[in-house]
Structure 1
Amino acid sequence: MVSRIKAHPTRYAKSGGVHVAYQKFGRGNLNLVVVPGWISNLDCVWDHPASVTWMERLGEYPNVILFDKRGTGLSDRGQGMPGMDERRDDIRAVMDHAGIDDAALFGLSEGGTLATLFAASHPD
């Protein structure tokens, strides 16, 4: 199967001394930030037909923002193990860099806890 979506340009948001890699795609008026689980790699998402199909469908309605958490994928490694507050701040940095004021959050696996923390910290 050949992807109908090519990998989107990877951009980098600066957060607490590291660069957090993200991609933005879709064609909607709403925004959806996908908070990854344990590990992710933006390059690999577009190499797997099932992932491409899912991303194509997901991007039909909202603008989708995918990112690699610090220490994974294309994002910088940083020093030591990042805490939840640092990871929460990374979401805000990605949203700011992407020009997004508000968004729905979709947390995958352990990303669900991080998405909940972000939502509780940014209720508006």
Structure 2
Amino acid sequence: MPTAIIDGIDTRYEVIGTGPALLMFSPGGFDATIEKWSSLGVYARTRPLEHLSRHYTCIVFDRRETGQSGGRVEHVGWSDYVRQGKGLLDHLGIDKAHLMGGCMGCCPVMAFAVAHPEATLSMILYWPVGGARYRLSSSQRFAEHLAFVHQHGLDAVVSLATSEGKAFGADPRGGPWASVIRRDPAFAERYARQDIGKYKLIVAAMGRTLVDRDTAPGAEPEDLMRLDFPALVVPGSDASHATSAARYIEECLPRAEYWDIAAAEQLEDNTSARLLQFLDSAQAGAA
């Protein structure tokens, strides 16, 4: 697959299909790779990428710090993920696109729409993360990594990431940069040499600001309320994708459509039909 340097970071991406542009922020939490659109949970069941790419130009990518994309040790926030997505559109010469996020990918989609409304045609927010349990589990993940660093040091993080090969979501001890450590020896060397005190401050701030509420993170409600383009919200229903978070997004977005369907009833045929119905209507309205 091709790569591009976006904001100084290697970004692995793929362009699939033809038609209007659809920029897709991958699901998978802190392991948001292209493959998750076909292999993870509800996405393996409904296969959205396969169906949408028959009608739209689907732009998919490994989010920074995941998969084969690179990363940089810094206080990463939603705006940094937005910069990667917008930079990829600029790299491809695309001025406007529909947006779709799955799981944690919904957060940068909302942040993108707030930051770049002129480049946004519509939004699909599929199983947005959020809820009290999601906040607690996410905070615990960062706390476990900080505790491991405090007890064992950064060399131990590098050893763990390279030997176990697990992303941050699967083993919190390896931290947010585990995937980059594993794939890039030069990055791993720099990572181990950095000031451990400053590193712990970065991680603490990152965890607190990425997950800062008991509902869907990503953008402030007042900013969402100012958006004036169509949005489709597809609810999840588990500890990481609270239905209340999906309802909150519906409440905040003036032109939101809420697909009121149980998670277990979201199957390949009805889901692909609903997503395409929404996108076709949004595309017609933008023409």
Q: Does 1:72 align with 2:66?
A: yes
Instruction: Structure 1 unaligned segments of length 5 or more: list them.
Output: 1-9
Counterpart-to-counterpart distance in 2, 1:16 and 1:74 = 16
Alignment CA distance shift 1:44-1:104 (3 Å): closer
Counterpart-to-counterpart distance in 1, 2:108 and 2:36 = 22
Counterpart-to-counterpart distance in 1, 2:10 and 2:2 = 9
Q: Does 1:33 align with 2:23?
A: yes
Aligned residue in 2 for 1:19: 10
Aligned residue in 2 for 1:7: none
Counterpart residue identity of residue 21, structure 2: N
Structure 1 or 2: larger strand share?
Answer: 1
Q: Secondary structure at the match of 1:42?
A: coil
Counterpart-to-counterpart distance in 2, 1:100 and 1:87 = 18
Q: Does 1:57 align with 2:51?
A: yes
Counterpart-to-counterpart distance in 1, 2:39 and 2:99 = 24
User: How far did residue 13 of structure 1 move?
Assistant: 2.4
Counterpart residue identity of residue 70, structure 2: D
Counterpart residue identity of residue 12, structure 1: T
Q: Return the TM-score normalized by structure 2.
A: 0.36
Aligned residue in 2 for 1:86: 80
Alignment CA distance shift 1:44-1:120 (3 Å): closer
Residues 23 and 66 in structure 1, CA contact (< 8 A), matched pair in contact too: yes
User: How far did residue 63 of structure 1 move?
Assistant: 0.3
Counterpart-to-counterpart distance in 2, 1:107 and 1:43 = 14
User: How far did residue 44 of structure 1 move?
Assistant: 6.8
User: How far did residue 69 of structure 1 move?
Assistant: 0.5
Alignment CA distance shift 1:119-1:45 (3 Å): closer
Pairwise CA RMSD: 2.3
Higher mean alpha-carbon deviation, 15-24 vs 33-42, is at: 33-42
Higher mean alpha-carbon deviation, 71-80 vs 100-109, is at: 71-80
Percent identity over paired residues:
27
User: How far did residue 116 of structure 1 move?
Assistant: 0.7
Alignment CA distance shift 1:65-1:113 (3 Å): same
Counterpart-to-counterpart distance in 1, 2:108 and 2:85 = 9
Counterpart-to-counterpart distance in 1, 2:24 and 2:33 = 13
Q: Secondary structure at the match of 1:66?
A: strand
Q: Which has the larger radius of gyration?
A: 2
Structure 1 or 2: larger helix share?
Answer: 2
Aligned residue in 2 for 1:42: 34
Residues 7 and 87 in structure 2, CA contact (< 8 A), matched pair in contact too: no
Counterpart residue identity of residue 57, structure 2: N
Instruction: Structure 2 unaligned segments of length 5 or more: list them.
Output: 119-287
Q: Return the TM-score normalized by structure 1.
A: 0.78
Counterpart-to-counterpart distance in 2, 1:114 and 1:47 = 21
Alignment CA distance shift 1:35-1:43 (3 Å): closer
User: How far did residue 47 of structure 1 move?
Assistant: 7.6
Counterpart-to-counterpart distance in 1, 2:92 and 2:100 = 17
Q: Secondary structure at the match of 2:107?
A: helix
Q: Does 1:117 align with 2:108?
A: no
